[in-house]
Amino acid sequence: MSNDNFGISEALKALGIKAENSGSSTGTKWLGSKGELIESYSPVDGKLIGKVSTTTEDQYEEIVKTAEEAFKSWRLIPAPKRGEVVRQIGEELRKYKESLGKLVSYEMGKSYQEGLGEVQEMIDICDFAVGLSRQLHGLTMHSERPNHRMYEQYHPLGIVGIISAFNFPVAVWSWNTMLAWVCGDVCIWKPSEKTPLCSIACQNIITKVFEANNVPEGVSCVVNGDYKIGQLISSDKRIPLVSATGSIRMGKKVGEAVGARLGKSLLELGGNNAIIITENADLEIAITGALFGAVGTCGQRCTSTRRLIIHDSIYEDVKNKLTNAYKQLRIGNPLDEKNHVGPLIDKDAVKMYENALEAVKAQGGSIILEGGVLSGEGYESGCYVKPVIAEASNDLQIVQEETFAPILYLMKYSTIDEAIEMQNGVVQGLSSAIMTTNMREAERFLSHQGSDCGIANVNIGTSGAEIGGAFGGEKETGGGRESGSDAWKVYMRRQTNTLNYGTELPLAQGIKFDF
């Protein structure tokens, strides 16, 4: 069945995607196609979807200057009014949910259900941001000086630079922009060069809302290109905050460049996430959580489950159940809702998958459910691979690394302390989970002696975070927090204010001037 039968052509038309698209925008205006062209091929069928022109340095300069001017007026609009604009964006996203979900699935390769789920996350963060627009609270405190009042308030930062990854081509942008916009900031977005068309679609969707509300040109900017555009953003002193999602290697470069100019960075980097399955686990829940965590998005989530740490008394039982479950997976076109696993993003990712499997064997691990690249009808893109289960010790170099592919490592433990030490024994610290019906084990895992990750779950897997909580990780995952809770504070600057409403000016430490 061709992908047109799944409505791809109609979706592209609805989203305003053309054969060739400008990749540079200041909001409602697209700049001329001056740069080189990025060709976006679908990993689903290997076909060219469309082309996007990259942003030149001159265009980048124009966009930053437009954003600077926009900030001067956008910050003066009351936060609830900015929230109303975001509310309307949420309504537009509801209208285009099906079309945008299909584009996400077709350009990135995740299942259509997951594509719809990603757009739903955008809608949810809009709703969250609307409420937040009336709750950007500061603090009041008592002064030690008579007739004085102290308080804290938050002000918008200015331009927020957003560098996003291919695996969540629209949701991560929305996590940042919706919060930044209600906070009074303006945004410049550099999407992944592997999924550029998703950025075009998002910008087209918000255009009507911005025009209807007379939003200043420059509040929402898009700059497409490779790492060189990311370098411009990271090194630009006019951009006080850079939010970057991607690999640890990329994040270190961004953090170094932003830190060199004493800017602020929000880094959401790699994960090497584990589920501990104890002897007290409900195995039906455990197998379901492990299966989805490991093969969802073909193992290309930063929260994908990479390691299963299993109590030795149930190890063989879990291994057998999981192996049987894997054998029932349907691998194929992600637009077909009967399939469970779609393709990797491109052939470079396939090569990394193959190299990782070779490394497992070379380093002493063993493959218990063989992988391989699929070929033939339906697999013409060359990006479809079989999910793999391997047995390997936690200290193997390949296990310590994050491989963006459906490779799951099984390992044994004897005591809960040993399991937690194994879980924590990697440089990444994003997501973690424990499967247990034992309250003491659960609380031990969640205590300060337990998981060292930014996300720690009990009886759910490592993926599938809700927007209501702050999302992010520790250690080399970067320490950033996006989305819910009080993550909004990173998009603002905090100011302490002291007011003297008396007739005297008492000085610190009792100092007096006689004159």
* 268 in active site: yes
The structure tokens listed for 211 are: 């025009």
Exposed e or buried b per residue across 2-35, where buried means at least 16 C-beta atoms within 10 angstroms of its C-beta = ebeebebeebbebbebeeebbbbbbbbebbebeb
**Bridge partner list, 125:** none
Q: Choose among 222, 316, 277: nearest CA to 441.
A: 277
**Residue found by looking up tokens 């953090």 in the block:** 255
Using CA of residue 386, residue 389, residue 395, residue 396, what is the dihedral sign?
A: negative
Q: Find the length of the chain.
A: 515
Asked if 420 and 445 count as a contact pair (C-beta separation under 8 A), the reply is: yes
| Inter-axis angle of helices 97-108 and 79-95, nearest 10 | 70
Q: Are 74 and 161 contacting, i.e. CB atoms less than 8 angstroms apart?
A: no
Could you tell me what percentage of the chain is helix, strand and coil, using 3-state DSSP and rounding each to the nearest 5? 40, 20, 40
Take residue 409 and report the two structure tokens written for it: 């490592």
SS3 category, 70: helix
Longest Cα–Cα distance in the chain: 93
Count Cβ neighbours within 10 Å for each residue of 289-308 and write b for 16 or more, e otherwise: bbbbbbbbbbbbbbbbbbbb
Q: Are 470 and 464 in contact (CB under 8 A)?
A: no
Q: Considering the candidates 121, 193, 268, 402, report the single residue annotated as catalytic.
A: 268
Backbone Cα Rg of the chain: 25
Write phi, then psi, for 319 (nearest 5 degrees).
-60, -45
Active-site positions?
A: 268
